[in-house]
Chains A and B, each alone.
Chain A
Amino acid sequence: GAVVSQHPSRVICKSGTSVKIECRSLDFQATTMFWYRQFPKQSLMLMATSNEGSKATYEQGVEKDKFLINHASLTLSTLTVTSAHPEDSSFYICSASKGGGQPQHFGDGTRLSIL
């Protein structure tokens, strides 16, 4: 069964709207979660590493003020796309690992479409 839950799975909204995406680890505690973005026909690109109780670590080129990450508990990380624009339309996916070199498990992903 799923070990990582992501919500919502699909969002369509107007330009300028802020969108929050939730990522939950279902049966384990995740001190670290990861947020990825994938454009059509391209590979997953790591956006940021979400750290429980501290600031997220952003990859080069990812605006931290644009993509707000909050990891307030060991089972929940949220990504907020602030003032979204059409170029932010993409597939956003979170992942978490049980640690110890185990593979990461992905949420179902959120398909974001900004009109």
Chain B
Amino acid sequence: RKEVEQDPGPFNVPEGATVAFNCTYSNSASQSFFWYRQDCRKEPKLLMSVYSSGNEDGRFTAQLNRASQYISLLIRDSKLSDSATYLCVVNGPSARQLTFGSGTQLTVLP
């Protein structure tokens, strides 16, 4: 089993749609959770951290369920510029290391 598993994608959605990505992780000791986005041939950039209480940043909402070891990202009112690969990232196996999911590709269509 992969340490971090994501929806395989790809997701092709029209502008304005709402899209949700899911992610599960296997290390129950993980304490930090993030969503990064990676544009084609670029480095990953932090989109948002994920907190236990859930958090929102504009059109983006992240949720964490520690009991189920599950993380989600919701994007509302999709824009063309949201097209990217979204990476679910969990800290571990050591506290300072990060483990990346394989990413979910999103394409927002005009």
List chain A positions with a Cβ less than 8 A from chain B: 6, 32, 34, 42-44, 46, 49, 91, 93, 95, 97, 101, 103-109, 111
Chain A residues with CB under 8 Å of B44's CB are: 44, 93, 106
Chain B residues with CB under 8 Å of A91's CB are: 41
User: A44 — nearest CB in chain B belongs to which residue?
Assistant: B100
Chosen A-B contacts, 13 in total, with CB atoms closer than 8 Å, are A43-B102, A44-B100, A46-B99, A49-B96, A91-B41, A93-B43, A101-B31, A101-B91, A103-B49, A105-B46, A107-B43, A108-B42, A111-B41
**Is the CB of B19 closer than 8 A to any CB of chain A?**
no
List chain B positions with a Cβ less than 8 A from chain A: 31-32, 34, 41-46, 49, 87, 89, 91, 94-103
Give complex CA distance A108, B55 in Å: 27
Chain A residues with CB under 8 Å of B102's CB are: 42-43
Among A97, A105, A108, the residue within 8 A (CB) of B96 is: A97
Interface-centre pick from B42, B43, B87 (highest chain A CB count, 10 A): B43
Among A34, A97, A106, the residue within 8 A (CB) of B43 is: A106
Nearest Cβ in chain B — how far from A102, in angstroms?
8
Nearest Cβ in chain B — how far from A20, in angstroms?
19
Interface-centre pick from B32, B42, B94, B96 (highest chain A CB count, 10 A): B96
Contact (Cβ within 8 A) B43 A108: yes
